[in-house]
Chain A
Amino acid sequence: MVGKVFKYGDNVDTDVIIPARYLNISDVCELSTHCMEDIDINFVKKVNKDDIIVAGYNFGCGSSREHAPLVIKENKVSCVIAKSFARIFYRNSINIGLPIIECDKADEIDNEDILNVDFEKGIIENRTKNKKYNINVFPDFIKKIISSGGLMSYAKEQYNG
């Protein structure tokens, strides 16, 4: 999966990913036009399919709103790479099937770098800088959720809803 990087700093909170003034909107497509609006007003205009968000520590901190990973996914972002994630954002992303990667070398990645993320091999290739970074693979239980297509599909399989 190859994409261009949108780089942000530490503590990117869910209020800037999707401001609460839009939380009266239920339609994800409409909601997604406001993605990252309060941190990067042009994000939605600039982002292309498979592009990648890269950030520092504690990405997605604050509110539990699932609207945050949902609007990122709706904008066809292929994955979010950060030095660490806030825990609710982390589990929300897994639950809805937005790939996220913890990578302590995220500092070495700059805005507009071109990355190739290989989830199978657990490698991020930075084509702009000609560097490679290893990433941790998920534990089996989480892999199962992801391979089911998210938590609800997993529930459907397990509990025959």
Chain B
Amino acid sequence: MGMTLTQKILANASCRENIKTGDLINIKVDIVLGNDITTPVAIREFKKYGFKKVFDNNRIAIVLDHFVPNKDIKSAEQSKVCREFAHEQNIKHFYDVGKMGIEHALLPELGIVTSGDIIIGADSHTCTYGALGAFSTGVGSTDMAYAMATGYEWFRVPSAMKVVLNGKLNENCSGKDIILTIIGKIGVDGALYKSLEFVGDGVKSLSMDDRFCICNMAIEAGAKNGIFEYDDITKKYLDNREERKRKIFKADEDAVYDEVININLNEIEPVVSCPHLPENVKRAKELKNIKIDQVVIGSCTNGRLEDMISAYEVLKGKKVKDGVRCIIIPATMNIYKECIDRGIIKEFINAGAVVSTPTCGPCLGGYMGILAKGERCISTTNRNFVGRMGHIESEVYLASPMTAAKSAIAGYITD
């Protein structure tokens, strides 16, 4: 029986000709990732069980991105734990303030992850790197500790849902509208324990930034991983960037999928995911009665250069509506610098927005844009659960950078 793309990568990593859905495998990992929230817990476990050295100091990435520059004493202590461990273990890929970026934008940008890799990260949005044709999935801190100690990780081989993308996106839409539309269709547990494999003619019109955004939110459909096949666009992105050799895999012709869903990209419209679940997807133009207090443009989902450009195209020469706070956060220092060089940040500021250095802060209600009781925010982030961005009676609406920027000017949700 043929294997899916994900199964092909896992089979190779487990040195087996064939694996099937449900098999439990213990495989070597290429990169182990953690952040300032999850790494301290992993370090505690690592030390508690008497491990002295990480399996390979070149294969571990520790990125301080959630609460940095530190928002308070407690988060400073957590960063310190990571920093000391990174120095003690001589961790090659340790990124502190000044070099850090939001982990899932930073790792691909620096070429730390590549096609065919097995990547685990103690952060649920680690599924982002599937955009490069890698098997990449989020795990917990104990998994991170185990992988740091042994270089291995256990998995149950997933089945897959095939998502066939045909046609071409309209100009007012982006990868975010695609993935929100899919989550709206299949629900927040629609792909539970499965791979989401994105194929079809429409893929070739999607940029890497669109693909990162789509794979990033695979977890919001419950998926284990999201993945695109390696193609010319992947090649162009990886050339002169990757630090290890890429491996290229393809799904078998006779691969078996649990389900196939077809998406016509021409029919995709700007959409918004309404409180309090990412599956509550509605057309942006139907929500004009929703007034907003805050706009957030950034995050591991939509803080990349194309996202910044998309917001810039809308905001340049315009003004954010009086009474609306517009917070823009480029995801890495390189993106931040590029935005300065291109004059993008100047236009954001002229429009009345505030621009922060990279942080996950507001997305998870950490800091840098917490909502008060009854407040509403349209955000390019990935979750709109109860209390996600602040008070349990606040509301988060998820959208693309373009829709968020247009709404910032209008003062209400608009397409």
Contact = CB atoms under 8 A, between A and B. Distances in A.
Contacts of B386: 13, 15-16, 38-39
Contact of A15 (B192, B222, B383): B383
Interface in A90-117: 91-92, 95-96
Interface stretch (B5-13, B48-56, B261-269, B320-328): B48-56
B45 A152 contact: yes
A134 to B, nearest CB: 20
A128 interface: no
Nearest to A142: B24
Given A66-B141, A153-B49, A24 B72 contact: yes
Contact of B139 (A64, A141, A153, A156): A64
B48 A11 contact: no
Interface string B275-317: 0010000000000000000000000000000000000000000
Given A87-B222, A92-B142, A141-B24, A152 B48 contact: yes
Interface size class, chain A: 35 or more
Interface string B380-415: 000101111000100000000000000000000000
Interface in A2-49: 11, 13, 15-16, 19-21, 23-26, 38-39
Interface in B353-397: 364-366, 370, 383, 385-388, 392
Interface string B124-152: 10100000000000111111011001100
A95 B120 CA distance: 15
B16 interface: no
Contacts, number: 146
B248 interface: no
B37 A161 contact: no
Interface stretch (B74-82, B111-119, B232-240): B74-82
B24 A88 contact: no
Given A87-B222, A87-B224, A152 B146 contact: yes
B38 interface: yes
Nearest to B51: A161
Interface in B222-244: 222, 224
A61 interface: yes
A118 to B, nearest CB: 25
Contact of B140 (A61, A62, A64): A64
Nearest to B50: A161
A1 interface: no
B259 interface: no
B192 A86 contact: yes
B122 A64 contact: yes
Contacts of B49: 152-153, 155-156, 161
Interface of B: 24, 37-38, 40-41, 44-46, 48-52, 66-67, 71-72, 74-75, 77-78, 81, 121-124, 126, 138-143, 145-146, 149-150, 154, 188-189, 192-193, 219, 222, 224, 277, 364-366, 370, 383, 385-388, 392
